[in-house]
Amino acid sequence: IRDEVRLIQAISVKEHSSSQHKERFHDIQVSTGVEIKDVKTLLIDMKVRWSSTYMMLNQAYGLHSQVNKFVTEILRAAKDMRTSTKLYALLPRDDEWKHVKSFQRVLQIADFWQQHFSSENDLALHLALPALKDLHAQWTAKLEDPAYAHFTNGLQAGLAKIAEYYDKTGDNDAYVFSIMLDLTMHFGFFKEGWSIALQKDAMELMKKINRYVELNSSAESVMVAVSKMKTLQRYLSSLVDLSSDDDDEARSSLSLTQALLDPEKQWEHDFQKYIDLNEDVPDGMSTVQWWGLNAHCFPVWASLTKDYLAIMATSVSSERAFSSAGITITKHRNCLKGDIVEALQILKCAYKKNLLYRDLGPSSSSEEELNSYREGEGSENPAICEAELDIELDTDSEELDNNFTDSSAWLNDDDM
């Protein structure tokens, strides 16, 4: 049994080994009706590049007929029998191509979930546990499918590694809190997929962290809370003294309020308030935006968002940053200092993200040009003309609004 992955890798290396081989593979694709702009080359996987093996197999299988023809032509062009025999060993059989396709489907699942919780612009840590869980479930289904019996050992090793990673997440509370701080998942994720014992462990962990943050807040916030508590206690005490009916109910209300204002009890009340929250996040609103608007409702939870929501789910963005810096620091620019490299990287990011060019707002220079145009000196700048038209339209609309307001006020005076 041959290793199909290493076989495809050897063919890809051979295709990249010389300009003649590249040209031959190019001509083979063109001869089969592929347009020049759609001509592709084979890919070579890398151990340090995520999903590179999947992409290599995907590219090779999509061009498997051209790959067979390429290997056949180079073995026929071999100068001696020994070289021809070695090249003939690179020719994949039909059953091996089927194995390549099957293994490609296995890796496609891993690639999908890896991309699912990898993002440079959005929060993704809360998707890590669901991704590992679903990946484990789908690979388990493949393991039980007779069509994938050829990959039994590989699937078992992969499932063991996923289980190991999943168990390691229990050593870090960031995964639990990142899920709880996301309103689309909240505690429902733990209720659906975790046992009662694990749910209790997660709840105790969150209570422990919340209590620590609440009771170790700044002295200023503590003094404010104490001041509010004393004021409310005096107010409620006066109500109890004035009340002649339902004294028991009034005093129980006072004791309940005092218990809630007790620092030892207040944190638990605020904690349960968020746990019981059932609110739908509006479409288009991110988790960060929601917490920015509702931080005053859940101050302790909001303080935790600063610590947990900023954590990256994967190191993909860091790897890209290092790769991009490697492109900047070439052999001819290997003496650049850290601040210069940082400035170049920021400039590159601003250029690629289109952050350098923005529509300019009103300024003193544009105002002078507008005044010159009005005085008859003239201005050929169409932007100034457009700005003048906008100003005139805005002025007219404001005058209409003022007239309408004055008329309404006059009518109201007549009615009175």
Q: Which DSSP string corresponds to 206-256?
A: HHHHHHHHHHTS-HHHHHHHHHHHHHHHHHHHHHHHH--S-HHHHHHHHHH
Residue 196's pLDDT is 83
Residue 323's pLDDT is 66
pLDDT band at 128 (very low <50, low <70, confident <90, very high): confident
Q: Which of 190, 211, 192 is nearest to 201 (CA)?
A: 190
| Contact between 127 and 138 (Cβ < 8 Å) | no
Residue 314's pLDDT is 63
pLDDT, average across residues 211-239: 52
Higher local confidence (pLDDT), 219 or 6: 6
C-alpha–C-alpha distance, residues 214 and 221, integer Å? 10
pLDDT band at 409 (very low <50, low <70, confident <90, very high): very low
Residue 107's pLDDT is 92
Residue written as token pair 């056949």: 72
Residue 381: strand, helix, or coil: coil
pLDDT tens-digit map of 152-200: 999 999 999 999 988 888 788 888 888 888 888 877 778 787 778 877 8
Higher local confidence (pLDDT), 201 or 66: 66
Q: Which of 27, 31, 54, 32 is nearest to 41 (CA)?
A: 27
pLDDT band at 10 (very low <50, low <70, confident <90, very high): very high
Residue 294's pLDDT is 86
Residue 67 has pLDDT above 90, yes or no: yes
**pTM for this entry:** 0.63
C-alpha–C-alpha distance, residues 175 and 312, integer Å? 11
Residue 248's pLDDT is 53
| Contact between 189 and 179 (Cβ < 8 Å) | yes
Residue 350 has pLDDT above 60, yes or no: yes
| Contact between 314 and 118 (Cβ < 8 Å) | yes
- 77: Cβ–Cβ under 8 A, 6 or more apart, which residues? none
Q: Which of 236, 238, 229 is nearest to 262 (CA)?
A: 229
Residue 222's pLDDT is 44
Residue 287 has pLDDT above 50, yes or no: yes
Amino acid at 409: A
When the pLDDT of each residue in the chain is averaged and rounded to a whole number, the result is: 75
Higher local confidence (pLDDT), 413 or 112: 112
Residue 345's pLDDT is 80
The secondary element (H helix, E strand) that includes residue 389 is helix 382-415
Cα Dmax for the chain: 113
pLDDT, average across residues 402-416: 43
Residue 266's pLDDT is 67
C-alpha–C-alpha distance, residues 275 and 213, integer Å? 16
Residue 227's pLDDT is 54
Residue 288's pLDDT is 85
pLDDT, average across residues 284-294: 85
Q: Where are the domains of the chain?
A: 4-116, 179-308, 316-352, 364-415
